[in-house]
Amino acid sequence: MTPEVTVARSLDEALAALARDGAAAHVLAGGTDLMVELRTGRTRPERVVDVWKVGELRGVREENEGLRLGALSTCAELLRDSRVASHAPLLVAACREVGAEQIQARATLGGNLGTASPAADLNPALVALGARVRLRSRRGAREVAVDEFLCGYRKTLRERDELIESVLVPTRPAHERQLWRKVGTRRAQSISKLTVAVALAFEGACVSAVRAAAGSVGPRTLRLATLERELVGRPLSPALCRSAAAACARADITPIDDVRSTALYRRHAFARVLATLLAEPDGVPACPPS
Amino acid sequence: MARVVGSRLARPDGPGKVAGTTRYVADLHFAGEWVGGTVRANVARGLLEAIERDAAFDFTRVVVVGPQDVPGANVIEMLTLDQPALASREIEHFGEPLLLVAAPDEATLQAALAALRPRITPLEPVFDPRASTKVFKEIRIEKGDVESALAGATRTFEGEYESASQEQLYIEPQGVIALPPDENGVVTVHGSLQCPYYVQKTLVRALGLPAEKVRVVQEATGGGFGGKEDYPSILATHAALLARKAGRPVRMIYDRHEDLAFTPKRHPSRVRIRSGVDGEGRLLALDIDVLFDGGAYTTLSPVVLSRGCIHAAGPYRCEHVRIHGRAVATNHVPYGAFRGFGAPQTCFAIERHMDHIAAELGLHPFELRRRNALRLGDRTATGQLLKESVGAQAVLERIAQRTHIDTHPWRAPKTTRKRRGLGMSFFFHGAGFTGAGETMLHARIALELDAEGRALVRSASTEFGQGTETLFKAIAAEALGCEPDDVLVAQPDTHAVPNSGPTVASRTCMIVGGVLARAGRELAARIGGNGPFRERARAFVRSGGDSRVEATYQTPAGLEWDDKAYRGDAYPAYGWAADVAEVEVDLDTFDVRVVRFWSAVDCGTAIQPQLVVGQFEGGSLQAVGFAQLEVVTTRDGRFQQDRMATCIIPTALDAPDFTTDLVEVPFSGGPFGAKGVGEMPMDGGAPAVLAAIEDALGLHVTRIPATPEHLLELWLAAHPEERL
């Protein structure tokens, strides 16, 4: 059955369409998830609200608290933005490995959050950056930490009349190291077997704060609490990198066998990748495929 | 002195494909056409009890075809007659066609398909070929006395090798448009296909029509790789049945999901090898057991097995050989033709086994191969005497010069996190049909002049990306003594071209091209004279000269084949090649990056060298994917990789840098010395990549695809202290 499609041209129109009674509407942004879902029949929405043309959801702004990214920011836009590059290199690194150029031109930040797939590449990056999502409805606006917002397998705290408006990435602390690694099935056009994102702050030689998250190794984007606990307050020695990564791989993730990989592989590759990532002397986010 | 052979002609099909103006079958439209679809079984094995019709749907809006509507025999004629066009009772595989529906538009079609619900009593399916009790084909090749030779060998070795299936993933999915009988009762099918006369044969049987009433036209075809050798016969039958009942043109263009889920892929294999060598590492005996999963119906499995078995001993001299092969039935979707046709599986096994022997003997893998390589005057496993055009030693020398693989310290210990490795393979591939196939087929072509003095090549050999049209222009121009632009190539159409056979088996250049060259020389002799060709040809036509030559394949003298004993000249000639792969394996992820890839190739004279290089690069990339990236698994008889999102093949970023060197050792029986090349590159890539992985990691991997998951498991078994 063909769904009823509302093409919203402004935020008001989009919110009005979402507030309408009846069946919940599916929000269409870049379409990189929804078009596939419609094709396979896994999702059969009765109503779709297309927000692609809503200008208020676009653009990057500097605010006092940090960088505000419009929900419709595409991977391609984020990749080209120098403010994002200096503020959240982790996010740029993640954007660069999403799909390939065609997908990057359509896939949006809001779409990654709204679909809430455990394999979404941008979500672990946002959690590691401590980002907050702003939701807006005709009832008003509220902000939720991305970590809480992504509450289950393809589940979020978004109410059915709410729209993901923007994401705030808090100002980057001085000397914060941001780490990113994606392991996919191939070097482009690949859905993740695992991803890991880490932001590390230092006081002297010791780690003072850590936020870390992982994708495709559990039912949702996972916060890596054991890793964070193991690292804080200690100098990042090679031995610690290895032991903390192993402890994290044992305790923080719940990988499964699926069509892309196996639980055994994911757990071991995760530990090995993470140990190497932490031990990288310069801590630059992983390089894109050459 | 060759003028056109060896040149670089522009491809006549190139501009349209690059600019996107080429019209494929999905781009064609016929007045009043409807769309067709298929009701399929949703179990791997069972008994069809009934097909219930949802009363809410108005079936007068559509046309439904069932087994009772098949006017001829309800079978898909290929090698045997075991596969029904539409199953009426026994269901043998998931997705087996049960009913066909034609509708005015896609929405109505989908609604009708959803309103037809098969009720099937499931039966216990067989998925493990080792447990199968039904054998499609068994082959025994015997030479010498294997058991005595093994008993007398200095060292003996054993190995077991497995390969999974592989999806062709041509760019254009399967598609045909069938027209209802015209005023003369002729049924026409336009389609994306490799073998127009195969399709015609199947239609003749199912429609109960004489061949002259069935016309099959090949439209521009976006890739095939063997995948459009057998399946178009099924799809064309379905569309023609619908068109006949609907009295309208019916288009059946599969979407990617239907194509991935239900069309044939490469045969999964298990090969066991026992070998014996003397003190110098010379092969004394080879005992090889080949098992292919054929899937639910015979399709092409017997001939795939045949090519697999004949190539199973590799390009090696060995006096005592036993090859026992079986292709068996399971309740998988039938497996079918894919570039290499059984040889990639057995080539992988013997090449991995040679590396195993080399490692055990402490002999360099290159040296082991050099010592055992077949030479001029040797006999192959089927007893074929190699009389000429044996490039075996030449390709080994060239690959060593190019890569220094012969002095590379293979399996030397390594300590870095990203580990580089080099590995090689050595292989041959018979060109043309196996055994007496070409003699029985009797390929025919026609060459004729038009009033403008241009030469028109009429053959059933199809262009699907490999360069048939360019090749034929080159061969005809060389033979006629004209310019390539003076040659036109007719669209393959069973009403307009003679049967030159299917476009398969690396036969287009050597076999059909050979017939074409002979026709060209005969026509040139008839025209005679000197000066510009077009003027002479025009004058010849004006003077009423017989401007059409038909030529037929003539088996080269001295070729003999005993199909019962599987002995003799299995192929008129072989191509020979050696590959070297360089990989980088990340010890954190076990991702294998194939960095560089070299080939040294003897395919006889290269009529168009850039086409040969193109075949090798493309085929090698498919082989690189087969080796470590492409995964095909089934659950309950259903392919799990049935979407582009899950069917992973290499992208341009996954492709290595290729270097292909041609070592031309001409064959007197081929056109201007040419042999075949289409399938050969598929044979060597996988074992070369696995040998390189072995060099990098020190792991002897015997299964493909060697995915990161598989490599990690092997690594943890060898390094248990790294297990979490």
b/e B20-57 (16+ beta carbons within 10 angstroms → b): eebebbbebebeebbbbbbbbbbbbbbebeeeeeeeeb
Average pLDDT over residues A171-184: 93
Place of tokens 């003997």: B361
Q: Smallest Cα–Cα separation from B300: which of B337, B254, B274? A: B337
- Cross-strand partners of B447: B457, B549
Query: pLDDT tens digits, residue range A188-235?
Result: 999 999 999 999 999 988 999 999 999 999 999 999 999 999 999 999
b/e B536-548 (16+ beta carbons within 10 angstroms → b): bbbebbeeeeebe
Q: Is A35 on the interface with B (CB under 8 A)?
A: no
pLDDT of residue A284: 44
The dihedrals phi and psi of B550, each to the nearest 5 degrees, come to -110, 135
Q: Is A268 on the interface with B (CB under 8 A)?
A: yes
- Its ipTM equals 0.95
Q: How far apart are CA A252 and CA A255, in angstroms?
A: 10
Q: Which residues 92-131 on chain A approach chain B with CB closer than 8 angstroms?
A: 100
Place of tokens 């429609």: B207
Query: pLDDT tens digits, residue range B323-362?
Result: 999 999 999 999 999 999 999 999 999 999 999 999 999 9
Same fold, A4-50 and A59-170: no
User: How close does chain B come to A206, measured CA to CA in Å?
Assistant: 26
Q: Do B641 and A259 lie within an 8 Å CB cutoff?
A: yes
For chain B, what is the mean pLDDT? 97
For chain A, what is the mean pLDDT? 94
Chain A residues in contact with B105 by the CB 8 A cut-off are none
pLDDT of residue A280: 79
List, in order, residues 6 or more apart from B632 with CB less than 8 Å away: B164, B165, B166, B167, B265, B639, B640, B641
Q: How far apart are CA B502 and CA B48, in angstroms?
A: 35
Burial class (CB in 10 A: 0-12, 13-18, 19+), B643: middle
User: How close does chain A come to B59, measured CA to CA in Å?
Assistant: 19
Amino acid identity at B607:
I
Is residue A222 within 8 A of residue A253, CB to CB? The reply is yes
pLDDT of residue A22: 77
Range in A32-46, A216-230, B529-543 with the lowest mean pLDDT: A32-46
- pLDDT of A2 above 90: no
With pLDDT > 70 as the criterion, what percentage of chain B qualifies? 100
Q: Is B416 on the interface with A (CB under 8 A)?
A: no
If phi > 0 it is left, if psi is from -120 to 50 it is alpha, else beta; for residue B432 that is left
Amino acid identity at A73:
S
Chain A residues in contact with B708 by the CB 8 A cut-off are 261, 265, 269
pLDDT of residue A175: 83
Q: How far apart are CA B314 and CA B429, in angstroms?
A: 9
pLDDT of residue A288: 35
Q: Is B496 on the interface with A (CB under 8 A)?
A: no
- pLDDT of B232 above 80: yes
Is residue B355 within 8 A of residue B364, CB to CB? The reply is no
Average pLDDT over residues B572-593: 98
- pLDDT of A289 above 60: no
Topology at the third CATH level for domain A4-50? 3.30.43
Structural domains in chain B, sorted by start: 25-125+169-262 (3.30.365.10), 269-434+567-722 (3.30.365.10), 443-552 (3.30.365.10)
Task: State the CB neighbour count (10 A cutoff) for residue B491.
Answer: 14
The dihedrals phi and psi of B379, each to the nearest 5 degrees, come to -115, 140
Locate the domains of chain A by residue range: 4-50, 59-170, 177-279
Q: Which residues 690-719 on chain B approach chain A with CB closer than 8 angstroms?
A: 708-709, 712-713, 716
Topology at the third CATH level for domain A59-170? 3.30.465
Question: Which SS3 state, helix, strand or coil, does residue B504 take?
Answer: coil
List, in order, residues 6 or more apart from A3 with CB less than 8 Å away: A26, A38, A44, A45, A46, A47, A48
pLDDT of residue B271: 98
Q: How far apart are CA B117 and CA A124, in angstroms?
A: 44
Average pLDDT over residues B648-661: 97
Query: pLDDT tens digits, residue range B36-94?
Result: 999 999 999 999 999 999 999 999 999 999 999 999 999 999 999 999 999 999 999 99
Q: How far apart are CA A96 and CA A102, in angstroms?
A: 12
- CATH entry, A177-279, from 3.40.50.11540, 3.20.20.80, 3.30.390.50, 2.40.33.10: 3.30.390.50
Closest residue of chain B to A191, computed from CA coordinates: B645
Pairing of strands B548-552, B444-449: antiparallel
Average pLDDT over residues A151-171: 97
Q: Do A261 and B713 lie within an 8 Å CB cutoff?
A: no
Q: Is B110 on the interface with A (CB under 8 A)?
A: no
Cα separations in angstroms, B270 against B313, B638, B664: 15, 20, 34
Average pLDDT over residues A14-42: 91
Query: pLDDT tens digits, residue range B404-458?
Result: 999 999 999 999 999 999 999 999 999 999 999 999 999 999 999 999 999 999 9
pLDDT of residue B1: 54
Query: pLDDT tens digits, residue range B478-533?
Result: 999 999 999 999 999 999 999 999 999 999 999 999 999 999 999 999 999 999 99
Average pLDDT over residues B91-119: 98
Q: How far apart are CA B342 and CA B328, in angstroms?
A: 14
